[in-house]
Amino acid sequence: MKEVVLDTETTGISVKEGHRIVEIGCIELDNLIPTKNRFHCYLNPERKVSEKALEVHGYTDEFLSQQKKFSEVGEQFLAFIKDKRLIIHNAEFDLGHLNNELSIFGKNKINNEIVDTLILARDKFPGSPVSLDALCKRYRIDNSVRTQHTALIDCDLLAKVYINLIDQKEPTLNFQNLDMETDNQNSSKVAYFKKVIKPSEDEILKHKEYLKNHLKKNYF
């Protein structure tokens, strides 16, 4: 099944305050494997970037003023995500902004199937931090390149997080000899194991009965 990991960057948080999208990033997954198919664009939001947003992604008004408008790339974007499940972290935010752009563009809202990894993470790790950075740390995913929020980098990290979330994988403990030289080792190669399935009470009773019938009584 083909899916699209999607992320956006914006001029600010609220659509109601007139904020617009400045970057869209998409990475296609085919049966959970990233393909070479990607969609990426910077956008001219036709307004100023808020100071807080500038701190997050670093895209200046001058840079963005030279980019295409959403109306110039909207059709290409819609064609890329057509009939594909969308994987988004905090989908309410990104979909709100995307649907706003589509409305301005005269198009219908996105009706793709959506998987919100924020909700998945909250269900799986209740009470724990579930930001993208926190999940990268939990799954030992190297996010050192994420010095600022950029759509494609965030998509790449989210794809790795998503695969771990839905596969119920947990990182194994990595006991290394501290005297070994590990600087040249690929630290991103982390071993994983599937979630342990414990035997039922009925299976335990049957196992005990088997042992009683086949081993000497003084063993019990």
What is d(CA 113, CA 181) in angstroms, rounded to the nearest whole number? Answer: 47
CA proximity to 33, closest of 6, 76, 57, 2: 2
In order, the DSSP letters of 178-192 are TTS--TTS-TT---E
Sorted by sequence, the CB contacts under 8 Å of residue 149 that are 6+ apart come out as: 9, 56, 57
Sorted by sequence, the CB contacts under 8 Å of residue 6 that are 6+ apart come out as: 24, 25, 26, 81, 86, 87, 88, 94, 155
Supply the residues annotated as catalytic: 149
Region label for 129, one of left (φ > 0), alpha (ψ between -120 and 50) or beta (otherwise): beta
What is d(CA 211, CA 184) in angstroms, rounded to the nearest whole number? Answer: 50
CA proximity to 21, closest of 45, 53, 48: 45
What is d(CA 127, CA 53) in angstroms, rounded to the nearest whole number? Answer: 27
